Amino acid sequence: MKNILLATTCLATITGCTQAKKETAVQLPNIVIIYADDLGYGDVGAYGATRLKTPNLDMLANGGVRFTNGYATSATCTPSRYALLTGQYPWRNVDAKILPGSAPLIIDTAQMTIPKMLKEKGYSTGVVGKWHLGLGTGIVDWNQLVSPGPNEVGFDYAYIMAATQDRTPTVYLENGLVEGLEKDDPLLVDYENNFEGEPTGLENPELCTMKWHHGHNNSIHNGIPRIGFQKGGKSALWVDEDMTDDFLGKAKQYIQENKSKPFFLYYALQQPHVPRTPHQRFVGTSGMGPRGDAIVEADWCVGELIKTLETEGLLENTLIIFSSDNGPVVNDGYYDDAVEKLGGHTPAGPLRGGKYSLFEAGTRVPFMAYWKGKIEPTVSDALVSHIDLLSTLAKLAGSETRVPDSQELLEVLMGKSQQGREELVLEATSRTAMRKGDWVMIPPYKGPAVQTQVNIELGNSKDFQLYNLKEDIGEQNNLAISEPEKLQEMIKTFEKIRGIESQKIQQLELK
């Protein structure tokens, strides 16, 4: 009898523990980060856009937390993506700069990342879309397994483009292997020298259906001249106009195949980065040319992903975070009517600058968090950054993982607190500035005031710049002279974080 009672007690204990584990697993939410490419603060309806229609993004923004002070760490793509996944300021890594398609992986495989942290808590992890964080160790044979890559930094599944749509190689990689490659037609990639007999945009403009404006005049694929050279791999080359459907299909498939356990999906959109090649279904839908059409297309992608979550019964247990890697640029290398058809639309909204700039439009971006039934609709002025997502999501997943640069702001992300971070270092092409409270300080930098090729103010000046963003969001009134105490306070904080000696700060130069 005692043995029976003991067995019954043990069985009950085991059953209870098993049930508790199941309940814990159920309580862990799915996490989806949707990351746009070059989408500006003023490109979304919820942030003031009137000419562009973005109903799905507006639904997320108006149905969740819409951050008005949400920042990427950098005004360019690779550094921002590095910071997002690692929770580390990109300027701490000398390799975190805009990378060619042949660059080695810049995330150390021993480094903590969001997917690695979530895997430790039982999550499935996947990335679909733009990568642009390097692959391999420096010499890549695209006809073999390319490693290390996303799979070595925490992702169970990866379906990516190596760099950007305007860079070679113009192929997809699935878990380190080029998709659709045939052995008798190897893929060759070079960023220094062209391959004999291969046409280029510079020498063969008659073969281009999209005319390059600056910098994009190397190998031609699909009528579009690119950055970098490639040869072969014809069966593996993507069709630009189908890219949206290709990535969306893989993202939806990942959700459907991993719905039985908590999953993390990093869905990195390619829009509205150049070359803007919306599918025929979206051509002309914005009235603003390919850039506007690409934004409409990206908004549709978001809606389709939400529909998939809803159909699979996952929407109420999924946290969706949407943002952009940096601010907007209109002409970024091709003639595509983006400038001519802009009309009254202002991609940067009320902000100054844009992509590549230390002014606000370089790094202040659309940033929203949506969780049906869990997050109440609210507008938050809290200062938050993509760099905070690692520590914040760790808190959500019950992980003790924290990294020094990343602040845990779960209550802020959930809309329950307006107490964001106090300070943030912002970066643009090796230059840094300081946001603290309502103020931003930009140190002196040599270099042009405007990058003429893209017609964007870079934030360079021989003098310190100090702006009160609460009163002057457009950064028109430099208070560096009239507010000397505030300027010194900002410099002191900047020095502390950046580790720059005060006597050297005025000698900072654009590199």
The predicted-structure confidence for 392-426, as pLDDT tens digits, reads as follows 999 999 999 999 999 999 999 999 999 999 999 99
Higher-pLDDT residue of 479, 24: 479
In contact, 216 and 166? CB cutoff 8 Å: yes
Question: How far is it, in rounded angstroms, from Cα 126 to Cα 155?
Answer: 5
pLDDT digit string, tens, across residues 320-337:
999 999 999 999 999 999
Closest CA to 384 of 408, 404, 351: 408
Closest CA to 104 of 35, 163, 174, 181: 163
Question: How far is it, in rounded angstroms, from Cα 455 to Cα 424?
Answer: 26
Question: How far is it, in rounded angstroms, from Cα 509 to Cα 511?
Answer: 6
CATH fold label, 424-507: Arylsulfatase, C-terminal domain (3.30.1120)
Average pLDDT over all residues of the chain: 94
Both structure tokens of 92: 């701490």
Question: How far is it, in rounded angstroms, from Cα 51 to Cα 43?
Answer: 9
In contact, 268 and 128? CB cutoff 8 Å: yes
In contact, 223 and 210? CB cutoff 8 Å: yes
Domain boundaries 30-187+232-421, corresponding CATH code:
3.40.720.10
Cα Rg of the chain (Å, integer): 23
- Taking each continuous run of H as one helix and of E as one strand, the counts in the chain are 9, 20
Question: How far is it, in rounded angstroms, from Cα 277 to Cα 269?
Answer: 13
Question: How far is it, in rounded angstroms, from Cα 183 to Cα 177?
Answer: 12
| Nearest-10 crossing angle of helices 243-257, 289-311 | 20
pTM for this model (two decimals): 0.93
378-385 β-sheet, strand order: 177-178, 172-174, 157-161, 124-130, 263-268, 30-36, 318-324, 367-370, 65-71, 378-385
Q: Using 50, 70 and 90 to split pLDDT, how confident is the model at 77?
A: very high
Higher-pLDDT residue of 5, 232: 232
CA torsion sign for 280, 284, 289, 292 is: negative
Q: Where are the domains of the chain?
A: 30-187+232-421, 424-507
In contact, 388 and 406? CB cutoff 8 Å: yes
Strands (E), 191-306: 220-221, 224-225, 229-231, 263-268
Biggest CA pair distance of the chain: 92
Alpha helices in 344-406 (DSSP H): 389-397
Tokens 């839908």, residue? 285
Cβ atoms < 10 Å from Cβ of 483? 16
Query: What does the pLDDT average to over 372-396?
Result: 98
In contact, 238 and 187? CB cutoff 8 Å: no
Q: Using 50, 70 and 90 to split pLDDT, how confident is the model at 316?
A: very high
pLDDT digit string, tens, across residues 252-294:
999 999 999 999 999 999 999 999 999 999 999 999 999 999 9
Q: Is 127 exposed, middle or buried (0-12, 13-18, 19+ CB in 10 A)?
A: buried
Whether pLDDT at 508 is above 90: no
Whether pLDDT at 182 is above 90: yes
Phi/psi at 448 (nearest 5 deg)?
-65, 150
Check residue 18 and give its pLDDT: 47
∠ CA 348-457-290 to the nearest 5 degrees? 45
Question: How far is it, in rounded angstroms, from Cα 412 to Cα 419?
Answer: 7
Check residue 499 and give its pLDDT: 87
Query: What does the pLDDT average to over 491-496?
Result: 96
pLDDT digit string, tens, across residues 3-12:
444 444 444 4
Whether pLDDT at 81 is above 70: yes
Q: Is 465 exposed, middle or buried (0-12, 13-18, 19+ CB in 10 A)?
A: buried
Give every CB contact of residue 435 below 8 A, 6+ residues apart in sequence: 71, 383, 423, 424, 425, 426, 469
Please list the residues that pair with 227 across neighbouring strands: 167
Angstrom distances, CA of residue 448 to CA of 90, 229, 355, 419: 23, 30, 15, 37
Question: How far is it, in rounded angstroms, from Cα 229 to Cα 226?
Answer: 8
